[in-house]
Amino acid sequence: MLNQLKTKIILQIVSYGKMKNRKAQLKIKQMTFMLIAVTLFFALVGMFVLVIKFSDIREAATELEERNAMLLVSKLANSPEFSCGGAFDTPRLNCIDADKVMILRQHIEKYNDFWGVSNIEIRKIYPAANSEILCTLENYPNCNIIRLRSKEIIGADLSNFISLCRKEPYEGDYYNKCELARIMVSYEEK
Amino acid sequence: MRTKNKKAQEEMIGFALIIIIVAVILLIFLGFSLRTHQKELVESYEVDSFIQSFLQYTSDCAEGHEPNYASIQKLIFLCNRKERCTDERDSCEVLNTTLTQILEKSWEIVDRPTKGYELNISSGNKDIILIKTGNFTRNYKGSQQNLIIGGNPSDIIFVAYY
């Protein structure tokens, strides 16, 4: 009888220990799940933050290029390398001396990275020509596109209206002739 | 006891999943909203520069003798004084034709972002030139230039609709 009681007590202790172990296991499982979920969550958030950051850096670079081009295109016509200055009677705003630009074109390699854009182009708008003729020293002024660098305009571009002036010969003399044109500044998209 | 624990675990996993899904959706929306930066179709500096530039355009109307060809700005003064070019053409007619052609070439409205434009040159209460073309949408950029014509304050107003 005493032995039976002892055995019963021992069995009860063992089963209590088993139950306690199971509870602990369950808690460990619970914690593992939570840890996995939290790690996954932070990993995902981190990944998205990184993706957005990197795309932002690229976008910011393009945006800076665009802003630079925009500021440049709105100011370029009044810079000393392009502006008419006092060559056409009175000082004029947004006036580009075409003769000066044609000479600048010949020495453009000295201006590499000076404006920080990939190319600058001047296109006559009015009077309009039937075809696009690139200006060279041989065909000038019977042309309608002055490209500062010989390469094509690539990437995005921004443009602004300008007055393109030159000295036009007339019966052994010269007079000021101004036409309407657009100055185009191109920048590379990152 | 077992079923209670299992239920709690399932709830926790569900909660974690919901948090993750919501966070991902929020981040995607945030990413898209940050990326939607659009360039203006017509920039204000373009409209400003356009007036400055067309005023300097050398027309084919000579004043007094050739080759004293008048600029558009001079042509506005000539038109206001009802003067004629050396070849007897009406200065206002030359001004109107030249400006119409300049506008057509500079602000093309077919298959372009520009939907219409309006140019008004007035002196006092009198309209010297009024050119309107295309649709006048709610998006527009405009610029104004002041001149003194014949002692009267005059305005050159250009509006581009896009």
Inform me whether the pLDDT recorded for A144 exceeds 60.
yes
Q: Which two tokens stand for residue B75?
A: 């042509």
Does residue A6 lie within any of the structural domains? no
- CA distances B88 to B62, B82, B128, Å, are 10, 12, 19
Looking at this predicted complex, what is its ipTM? 0.76
The CA distance from B10 to B2, in Å, is: 12
* pLDDT tens track for B56-92: 999 999 998 889 999 999 999 999 889 999 999 999 9
Domain count, chain A: 1
Q: Domain for residue A17, yes or no?
A: no
Residue B36 has pLDDT above 60, yes or no: no
Mean pLDDT of chain A: 84
Q: Which residues of B touch A (CB under 8 A)?
A: 1, 5, 8-9, 12-13, 16-17, 19-20, 23-24, 27-28, 30-31, 34-35, 37, 39, 43, 45-46, 49-50, 52-54, 56-58, 66-69, 71, 101-102, 105-106
Q: Do B56 and A34 touch (CB under 8 A)?
A: no
Closest chain A residue to the Cα of B9, Cα to Cα: A30
pLDDT tens digits, one per residue of A97-140: 999 999 999 998 888 888 878 888 999 999 988 889 999 999 99
Within-domain flag for A103? yes
Is the pTM above the cut of 0.80? no
Nearest CA in chain A to B102: A126
Termini Cα distance of chain A: 90
Q: Which domain holds residue A92?
A: 71-187
Report DSSP letters for chain B, one per residue: -HHHHHHHHHHHHHHHHHHHHHHHHHHHHHHHHHH-----SS-HHHHHHHHHHHHH-EEEEESSSTT-EEEHHHHHHHHHTT-B-TTS-BHHHHHHHHHHHHHHHHS--TTSS--EEEEEEEETTEEEEEEEEE---S-EEEEEEEEEETTEEEEEEEEEE-
What's the confidence (pLDDT) of residue A9? 75
Q: Do A52 and B101 touch (CB under 8 A)?
A: no
| Subunit contact B34:A93, Cβ cutoff 8 A | no
Is residue A146 situated within a structural domain? yes
Domain assignment of residue A124, yes or no: yes
DSSP letters for A82-96: TB-TTSSSS--TTEE
- Judged by a CB distance cut-off of 8 A, whether residue A184 touches chain B is no
B80 to B57, B59, B144: CA distances (angstroms): 18, 16, 19
Q: Is residue A25 part of a domain?
A: no
CA-based nearest residue in chain A for residue B46: A160
* Stretch among A22-36, A174-188, B32-46 having the lowest mean pLDDT: B32-46
Would the pLDDT of A179 be above 60? yes
Residue A177 has pLDDT above 80, yes or no: yes
Contact: A52, B54; criterion CB under 8 Å:
no
Q: Give me the domains of chain B, ranges plus CATH numbers.
A: 44-59+95-161 (3.30.1140.32)
Residue A84 in domain: yes
Contact criterion met (CB < 8 Å) for B54 and A177: no
- Where is pLDDT greater, at B26 or A96? A96
Q: Which residue has the higher pLDDT, A155 or A43?
A: A43
Q: Does A64 fall in a domain?
A: no
Calculate the average pLDDT of chain B: 87
Of B16, B28, B52, the CB nearest to A94: B52
In B, which residues are within 8 Å of A128 by CB distance? Answer: 105
Partner B contacted by A129 (CB < 8 A): no
Predicted local confidence at residue A56, as pLDDT: 74
State the nearest Cα–Cα gap between B45 and chain A, in angstroms: 7
Structure tokens at B98: 């030249």
What pLDDT is stored for residue A29 in this prediction? 86
